[in-house]
Structures are given as C-alpha cells and as structure tokens.
Amino acid sequence: MPGGRRRKLQLSKIYSFRCGRSSFQEDHSQIGGPGFSRVVYCNEADSFESIIRNYMDNYVRTTKYTLITFFPKSLFEQFRRVANFYFLVSGSLTFTPLAPYSSVSAIIPLIIVIGATMVKEGIEDWQRKEQDVEVNYRKVRVHRNGGIFNYKEWKNLRVGDIVKVGKDEFFPADLLLLSSSYEDGVCYVETMNLDGETNLKLKQAVEITSSLYRDWMFGDFKAVVKCEDPNANLYSFVGSMEFEENQYPLSPQQLLLRGSKLRNTDYIYGAVIFTGHDTKVMQNSTDPPSKRSRIEKKMDHIIYLLFLILLSLSFIGSIFFGIWTNEDHQNGEMKRWYLRPDNSTFLFDPRRPVMAAVYHFLASLMLYGYFIPISLYVSIEVVKVLQSIFINQDIHMYYEETDRPAYARTSNLNEELGMVNTILSDKTGTLTCNSMEFVKCSIAGTAYGHAFTEIEGALARTKSNGYNDNELPKVVRSSSVKGYNFSDKRIENSSWVMEKHADMIQKFFRLLALCHTAIPEVDEATGKVLYEAESPDEAAFVNAARELGFELHKRTQTSISLHELDLVSCEKVERVYQLLNVLEFNSTRKRMSVIIKDEEGKLLILCKGADSVMFERLAKSSGKFEEDTREHVNMYADAGLRTLILGYRELEDEEYRNFSKKLNEVKNSISADRDSLVDGVIEEIEKDLILLGATAVEDKLQNGVPDCINKLAQAGIKIWVLTGDKMETAINIGFACSLLRQGMKQIIITLDTPEIQVLERAGERPAIIKASKESIHHLITRGKLQIDRSLEAFALIIDGKSLTYALDDDMKDEFLLLAIRCSSVICCRSSPKQKALVTRLVKAGTRKTTLAIGDGANDVGMLQEADIGVGISGVEGMQAVMSSDIAIAQFQYLERLLLVHGHWCYRRISTMICYFFYKNITFGFTLFLYEAHSLFSALPAYDDWFLSLYNVFFTSLPVVALGVFDQDVSSRFCLQFPRLYQEGVQNILFSWTRILSRMFNGFFSAVSVFFLCTTALELQAFNQDGQIADRSILGPIMYTCIVWIVNLQIALSISYFTMIQHLFIWGSIAFWYLFLLAYGAISPGLSTNAYEVFAEALDPSPTFWVTTLFVVVTTLIPYFACSAIQLRFFPTYHETIQ
C-alpha cells in the first residue's frame, strides 16, 4: 500500500536514545580502513562497482553438507570416531594377504553401520534443507527501476537493492532503514528471534532519507553507504552514507537485522547492506557447545579398555605364534611338515619368526575386532533419537495452553537426565509464571487489596502442617483482566475519591499510568486499549491503572493522554501530560522516572523503583507514611510479592532547565564514562521525593511446582534456586514451593550486617572487601559447625553480594562444601554471570551431573554451563530454549522428565551399553579360544559371513528394543517411588563393578561355550552315520549357542516385555537358523564350508540340538542364579518395587 496514512506522530522522542547519535565520531574515522571496507551502492545493484565487489548472495544455507560435500564430509565425521577409524583401517587391511577373513565380509558391516549413520545425518540435513528452501524462496518487494517495486525471492536479493517490507514481515537481509510509514522514519521491530526480548525496539532512519515514503520516490534514488565488514556484533554498526554529496553517519539505530520482524509500522523502505551469511544473525549462529553425557564419556573409556584387551590378546597370540612358527623349521628339519615351513610365505615364515609374529599381530588385530562393538554408536544414536521422540511425544509433558510439547533439542543427553544430582533453577518464569498480577498496594500508609496470594496460601499450609485446605481462604480471582487481581471496595469503581487521602491515591495511580514506556494500541474491533510493554510488571501497572480509572489511551512523542476521573467533578476527562524526559530503568539504578508537565504547567518528576534505592531518595519531611509503608513492603515481601516504591516531586522551572542542560551536555560528551556521568546527573534530580506508596505485584507460582520440588527432593536431588529477587521474597518463594520446610534450619549468609553497612558508608573498598570476606568466612565456618552438630536438614540462603566473595577462588571450595551439605540452597540477588559461575562451581566441585533450568536470556549462561540445560518455553522469548538441550513448557514437567524419562533412559542406555560389551566379549573371546587351539594362526572359528553379520543382524535389534522400550517399573511407580532415581545419581547401573562384572560374564560365557561345545563334540561321531564334527560343524554349533545365549541374556535383562521385544529376540534367533539354511542352500562356491551344513549335518543330528540346549542353559544358569541370589539377599530398590 504505497503512500499509506502518514501518522502525524514522532515517536522517536519517547525513548531517550542512550547510545545517541553524537557519540560515534571516533568510530567513523575508521570507515574505509581495515575492517570497514564495505561499500554499498544503494539502488545500483547492477552497476559495475557493485558487481566487482561481488558480495555474497542472499542464499542462506544452514545445512551441514551440500550435495557434493555430503559424502566426503560425513564420512570424515564418521571416521573421526576411534572405533570407526579402527574398523576402517582393519577393513582396508583385509585387502592384504594378512586378512584372516575375506574383505567383503569385513567391509559390509562397516558399510551398513556407516550407511545407517549417514542416512540419519542425511535425513536431518534434508529437513534443514527444506527449512532453508522455505526461507530462501520467500518473496519481498524489491525496487526494479523507475519507482516500480516487484516481488523477488529472498535468495535473489543483492547488496544495494532497495526493498519494501510490510507490517509483520521478516526482514530478508540486514537492511539500512531509509524511511517508514511514519513521518519521522521510525519503525518498530521485534527481535525475539535474535535476543529473546519480547518488547519492541524502535529504529529510526536518517532524517534526510525519511522523506522518501512513496514507491516512485526511489526512481532515481542514489546513495553510497560505506560501512564495517560483516561481523557478529548485534549491537554495533558503524557506517556512513553519502547522499546528494553529503555525508551522514549511520548507527545501529538505522540497521534492521535479518531475523527480526516489522511491527506496528505499515511499511518501511530499506537498502540491503549485508546479505546471506554476511548478516549479523548468520554471523552469530555458532553451534551450541556440544555436550556429551557422562555415560558416553565412560563408554569411551570402556572402548579403550577393550582395545587394551584386544591388543594384549593379539600380543599374547603373536608371541606364541612366533615361538611355534620358529619351531616348525629348525636345523633343516620340518616339524609340522604338512605346513611346508621350508617353502613358506612371509606370514608363516619360520626363518623370520619375529616378522611372522608382527604380521600375526596385525592379522589378529583384525580378527579380534569383534571385541569392539561396531554397531554400538549407531545403535545408541538410533535409540536416543527414538527416546527423544518418546520425550517429545509424551502427552503428560504437553502444555495445552501454549500448545507446546516437550522438545528434546539434542538427543545426546537423554540418559544424563537420569543422573541429575543438583538442579539449579531460575525463579522468575521458571518456578513462577512470569505473568505479573497487580494484587496489592499501599497508598499513603494505608494498605489496599484483599487478594490472598498463592504463596500466602502455601505458606499457611506449610505452617499449619496439614492438608486441610478447606479451612484456609482460597485464592480467589476477582478479575478476568490479565495481570490484574486487585480487589478492594475502597478503591474500585471510583470509590477511592471518598478515601481520606484521595489526592494521594489519584497521584499514585496517575504515576502508574504515566511512568513507564508502554505503548497503547487501540484494538479497532473492540475499542479496548492494549498495551505493549517492556516487562510484565509494567504491563501489570498500566493495566491496573486502567482498571482503576486511569486509562492511558494515547501516547505521542511528547505527550501522554489519560482518561481519568476528575477529583472535583467526578467525571471522566481527558488529560494530556507533556512528556519531557524518560529516565530509563536499568539494573544499577533499579528505578525509572519520567519528567512531565501537567495541564496546569506544573513540572513533576515521577519515580518508581526498588525499596532499597527509593527510601534513601525520599525527602526527609515526607516521612510521615514512611514507617507504615516500610512495614507494608516487608509484609508484601513476606507474601512473596514484588514491590516497588512510588514517589514524586514537583520541580522548579529553573531546576529543570539546569537539569535538562546538564543532561544534554553529558549525553553528547564522548568520554568513556559517559554513562556514569549521565547517571550522576539523573541522580541529582531524583531526590527529595515525596512518598506516594508501594505496589505489590504477584508473580504466581506455576502449577504443581511445590509437588514437583517435593518429589525431586525425595528423589534425593538437590535443588538450588538462583534468583534476582530479594532475600525475603526468595525465602518465601522457597517456602511456597516447599523448597524450604518448617523443620529446616536456615543458614543465612548475607552482608547486610551493621558493621559492613558502616564500612560501606565510609566507602573504603579494600576495607569493605576484607571485612566482607572475613564475615563470610566466619558465617561459612559457623554453618559447617552447625551442620556437624545437628541431624536436621539445612537450607543455605546467600545473597548476591556475599556470593561475589564466596565464589572467589580462595573461598569457593569452602562455600561448596557447606552448600552441598545443605538440602536446599537459595542464592538471591544473583546476576546472570553469577548464575553461570555457581553452575560451574557445582559442576566442577561435585563432579556430579548438574541440570540448569531457566526461561530467560539471563539464564543462557547457566544453561550452557550445566551438564543439561532445560529451557522453559515461556513468556520471556525463545532465547533460553534456543540455548537449551531440552525444552519443556512448565516446571512441573521436570518431575516426569527426570523421574520417568531420565530414569528410564539412564537405565536403558546403561543396560544397553553393558550388554553390548557383554555380547561382543562373548563372541570375540570364543575367537581367541579357538585361535589358541589352532596354533594362534589367526584362523577364525566361524565362517566369514557369520562373523560379519553377528553385530548387524543376529544381535542388534533386541538391544535396540531394550534401549527404546525397557522399563524397570512403570511410570506411575517411578513417580510414586522417587528414590528409584538415586540409582542414576549414584550411577549404580553403570559403575565399574557392574561394567566389569558384565564383561566378566562375557568372558565366562565364551569359555563356557567353547569348552562345553568342544568337549561335547570332541572325537566321537557326531551322528548316527559315524560322521565327525569337523571345523565346518563346530563353528555353526558354537555360533548357534552364542546367538541363543546373548539373546536370552537380553531377555533376562529386560524387565518389560512388549511384542516388539518378543519379536526381536525370538526373531533374531529364528533369523539365524533361517540364515544358516539359506546360506547353505546357495551354491557351494559362495557358501564354501557352510554349504548345506544345517540341512545335511546339523538339523538331522540330535547331538546338535542336545548340545545346543545344554550349552545355552548351562551358560546362563550362573548369571540367573547370581541375579536370583542378589535379588533375594541384596535387592536394589527397583527390584523391591517390582
């Protein structure tokens, strides 16, 4: 819609552009220098200058591979794994005469395994490719020539193109904002995909181009932009534009980033600056740190152990082989003449026994490759992907309200979920909903609002220590308006005018309606006003003000219009307040102010902020309500509410003029400490405020949080809450979500002691640090003594300031020692950095699995630092989810995720890995035993194809079924007996004793199979026809026994049978017989020794069946008896439950 309605509105001044325009002169001198070489000829993408620069096209590829690179690259990825590389090397060695078996049979399983992984990679990459195609083929209007805009696909955009982007469309590349549908060239963008912030950002074009607001105006538009080279910094942009022979500096304020979205603006025009992979968002896309689970790391160790076994077996064999080969031909006499040692090739040459031993070593490395489970990695990958599907598909972790199921972004960590020792949780948005509700306020020393908060309810419940909820007041929702849960007859329905301090009440709500950065949006259909606010708190305030009769309905660059009740006439009137300054909120100031001029021309500064900073800024004279308000604020904090103090002051014209001048001065200064100077100036005006009152906003606990935490605690998981809240609020939330219980003793570490405060006032930093450290050290030591003396459970509460010192190198170990002995830990007032540091400390200090859970951008560090990062896909954007490993919609799903899925996955994977080693040792060791009976000549006991298909066909599927479906106890019992979880935390199922005992079982099985089979079949006739069991018969018999044993072994390990398990287990065994039959039926040229061996020799002979039965049962009995004894006398917890 060219030339849409131009709103006479200059929104640009609502925001004080802190990184304003005047401060980047120094950066601009660099343009044209190294790192700042980009030159963009706007609207001249076809010109010679543009073409020679040959900037990247706008095609974005997120796939790992292309059609050409897929094979080499994915193969390379595969062979980076030690085991796969080993198989590649041994596979290529099979082409030499050294090979104990044929090369085809060695290569095919490798091809199958590698192929399966590559297919998986390919499918994943294909999905990425489809997304790419969808994005790259989106269309955008691009200036053709003569002011005509045509649609063009995104991928065809070139640097310098002029594009027109409409409302709610994504920017196709990094654009230079030229103009918008607003006269002053501003536009709003939503950057949720970039930084996870939901609030809209304001961008503004350079003044000179903002007049180009029609298509035709671009007919002969020409400009040259010189700017920095592509880089990953989202918040910086340095450039200049040459337009009509003038230079104009450019800043991030003009840059619209790909990945963000145009909002609240009808259209914008922009010039393409960075395309494709040059865009900031693509430059930023790094792979998240890849995490590997503990089990997988340990698995590597086991594989190394197996390699060690393999090497030593080969070595032993080679020594014997060398000796025996040497014996064969001594002093011209041949011992084993039938081997013709006098005429021997290199491999068996008795004249060079050392070389023969070396060659034998290589050959047996190939032969004993069956110790290394070739299909382990691919099986585990397949299993994990399927497990992830289970997690994603779990209806019990699906949150209807936001339509979000759980989503395992990486399947690497499934089993790690079953080993979590410590949970580090964010509070806001994680334990709570992060949807703020205005519930109470205190105005002029009077408390208003009756609502009974959930937290109060929970507190009352825990205090009365019973479950008789009936006697307790229920949490009543009085209002259907989101973010508003206030009820008080004295205030509602304009009855506040009758109150004693009606003027104060009026000022109070007026302040709420004025002091914010929210933007009203009139819904044209209903006529209702909706607000676009930076934070949920702000939205709650504006909503509350509206509900109580102070409706913000219009906001311009210089004014705010309210519909409010006139105190005298008691009628709704429109009042317009001139907005002079917005002094923004930041975390150091912990307050925000606006300076306004009301209709009477009075200058007012309205300020709201945290109690810690506000009380000291109040005028001494206004202290009459101060005590009451303080009391109320403490009461609110006890109830788990977030409080803000409101204050105001009338300003003299003179004072304001001074302030305004100074502010402008420091804002335009270039010095490095500009920000602190600005803060200093603002500080001067935000003083001597008159107290109006306090607000209390409830951040409601999410559903089921206390129960969930309770269960997790019962499961023996330690929970740390890291929050930015005040200590009182944090403690109360702790009680509410049953993190703290009445019987618990609290160890509180804080620096809010009088001595420290005195020092702080004196302001000597070294002294403060010293005293703080001493005090914290003292507190920690005392805490430890307390724990030593008492048997009760302890809770540690520490505030952010103390945490800074406690995390110092010299104290962190002590702190950790104390903390891990407490059952719950709460760190309040902690910064994102501290959260990450605490996570690292716990992870490194305890060497146990840590899980971090959070929802906001401030939790990203913590999520990435922890062993597992769980993101809550909540209100605060997608940033946390993007950097998490698993995303869930609600905190309460953590219970199921850990206790059920985690437990199962841990069990499955560890059983699976143990079993893999068991089955391969069983198989591999029979090879060794047989080789020992064949002069260590590296002759495999089995046919080549039996060898190679062992891992692929006859033993692979049941273990996958185990990995996917097995459950020791059902989900209900998992939740009912949370202590089951300790199995994973203490890593019982994957301890070295267990692994080694499984391996030992493998060795035992192999020995049993080999010796029982050979003894049973030795010498005497094998059937009634007097035939003898030769090599081609012994091999298949042993193999049959092994197939039965390893498959029955898994049947014994499986605690939960479905048809699939039955199908796979019995199917694998049946398949072996079928294979043997089919293989024997093909021409003897191919089947060699196995020709008709089953049909002719094995099947008709009762000896075969009798021997198989005996060997299989006898080999399994010790394991079975041991488990029965263990079950009887040393049961594990899950067995007790079973």
Partner 1 sequence: MNSNTPPSTSVAAGSVDPSAARRNSKRPKCNLLSLAHCISAIPRFFGFRFPEKMMPDLRFTVHPAGTSSLQANSDTAMGLIQLPLSVQVISAFLLVSIVFIPIGVASLLASHDVVEIVDRYDTACIPDSARNDKVNYIQSPGNKTCTRNITVTKHMKKPIYVYYQLDNFYQNHRRYVKSRSDAQLRSNGSADDVSSCEPEDKSNGQPIVPCGLIAWSLFNDTYDFSRNGQQLSLNKKGISWKSDREHKFGKNVFPRNFQNGSLIGGGSLTDSLPLSEQEDLIVWMRTAALPTFRKLYGKIEDDLQVNDVVMVTLENRYNTYSFNGKKKLVLSTASWLGGKNDFLGIAYLTVGGLCFFLAMVFTVVYLVKPRKLGDPSYLSWNRNPGWH
- Binding-site members for Mg(2+) are 426, 428, 855, 859
Site for partner 1 in 152-191 (CB under 8 A): 170
Q: Quote the least distance from Cβ 485 to partner 1, whole Å.
A: 25
Which residues fall within 8 angstroms of residue 212, CB to CB, at 6 or more apart? 178, 179, 218, 221, 269
By CB under 8 A, residue 60 contacts partner 1: yes
Which of 786, 1062, 1073, 1077 binds partner 1 (CB under 8 A)? It is 1062
Site for partner 1 in 409-448 (CB under 8 A): 409-412
Which of 151, 235, 467, 1130 binds partner 1 (CB under 8 A)? It is 1130
Which of 935, 957, 1065, 1069 binds partner 1 (CB under 8 A)? It is 935
Of residues 161, 394, 426, 885, which has the active-site annotation?
426
Is the Cβ–Cβ distance between 140 and 162 less than 8 Å? no
Site string for partner 1, 668-707 (x = CB under 8 A): ----------------------------------------
By CB under 8 A, residue 132 contacts partner 1: yes
Q: Quote the least distance from Cβ 343 to partner 1, whole Å.
A: 4
By CB under 8 A, residue 231 contacts partner 1: no
Rounded CA-CA distance 297/1138 in Å is 30
Rounded CA-CA distance 204/214 in Å is 17
Angle at 448 between CA 445 and CA 451, to 5 degrees: 145
Between 1073 and 1133, whose beta carbon lies closer to partner 1?
1133
Helices (H), 737-808: 754-762, 765-789, 800-806
Which of 348, 368, 496, 1039 binds partner 1 (CB under 8 A)? It is 348
HEC secondary structure over 607-666? EEECHHHHHHHECHHHCCCHHHHHHHHHHHHHCCEEEEEEEEEEECHHHHHHHHHHHHHH
Annotated binding site: 426-428, 538, 585, 608, 642, 723-725, 829, 835, 855, 858-859
Tell me the window of 673-681, 739-747, 838-846, 1020-1028 that interacts with partner 1 (CB under 8 A).
Answer: 1020-1028
Is the Cβ–Cβ distance between 40 and 225 less than 8 Å? yes
Which of 18, 76, 104, 124 binds partner 1 (CB under 8 A)? It is 124
CA-to-CA separations, 1129 to 306, 992, 1132, 1136, in angstroms, rounded: 32, 21, 10, 11
Helices (H), 933-1018: 944-949, 957-965, 971-976, 982-985, 992-1017
Rounded CA-CA distance 65/812 in Å is 45
Q: Quote the least distance from Cβ 983 to partner 1, whole Å.
A: 10
By CB under 8 A, residue 986 contacts partner 1: yes
Element (H, E) at 852: strand 849-854
SS3 content of the chain, % helix, strand, coil (to 5): 50, 20, 30
Is the Cβ–Cβ distance between 1129 and 1055 less than 8 Å? no
By C-alpha distance, which of 903, 856, 909, 904 is closest to 884?
856
Site string for partner 1, 814-833 (x = CB under 8 A): ---------x----------
CA-to-CA separations, 967 to 555, 600, 689, 954, in angstroms, rounded: 60, 75, 64, 23
By CB under 8 A, residue 1016 contacts partner 1: yes
Rounded CA-CA distance 560/579 in Å is 7
By CB under 8 A, residue 330 contacts partner 1: no
- The DSSP 8-state label assigned to residue 897 in this structure reads I
Site string for partner 1, 371-410 (x = CB under 8 A): --------------xx-xxx-xxxxx-x-x--xxx--xxx
Q: Quote the least distance from Cβ 1132 to partner 1, whole Å.
A: 8
Q: Quote the least distance from Cβ 259 to partner 1, whole Å.
A: 5
Site for partner 1 in 891-920 (CB under 8 A): 900
Site for partner 1 in 466-485 (CB under 8 A): none
Rounded CA-CA distance 814/804 in Å is 14
Element (H, E) at 596: strand 591-597
By CB under 8 A, residue 1014 contacts partner 1: yes
- Is 426 noted as a catalytic residue in this protein? yes
Which of 953, 1003, 1056, 1073 binds partner 1 (CB under 8 A)? It is 1056
Between 464 and 1136, whose beta carbon lies closer to partner 1?
1136
Tell me the window of 489-497, 524-532, 1067-1075, 1109-1117 that interacts with partner 1 (CB under 8 A).
Answer: 1109-1117
By CB under 8 A, residue 48 contacts partner 1: no
Tell me the window of 72-80, 698-706, 946-954, 1106-1114 that interacts with partner 1 (CB under 8 A).
Answer: 1106-1114
Between 252 and 259, whose beta carbon lies closer to partner 1?
259
Q: Quote the least distance from Cβ 591 to partner 1, whole Å.
A: 34
By CB under 8 A, residue 1024 contacts partner 1: yes
Rounded to the nearest 5°, which phi and psi values hold at 869? -110, 120
By CB under 8 A, residue 933 contacts partner 1: yes
CA-to-CA separations, 900 to 37, 561, 1057, in angstroms, rounded: 56, 55, 18
Number of residues binding to partner 1, judged by CB under 8 A: 140
Tell me the window of 634-642, 730-738, 754-762, 970-978 that interacts with partner 1 (CB under 8 A).
Answer: 970-978
By CB under 8 A, residue 1098 contacts partner 1: no
Q: Where in the sequence numbering do the catalytic residues fall?
A: 426
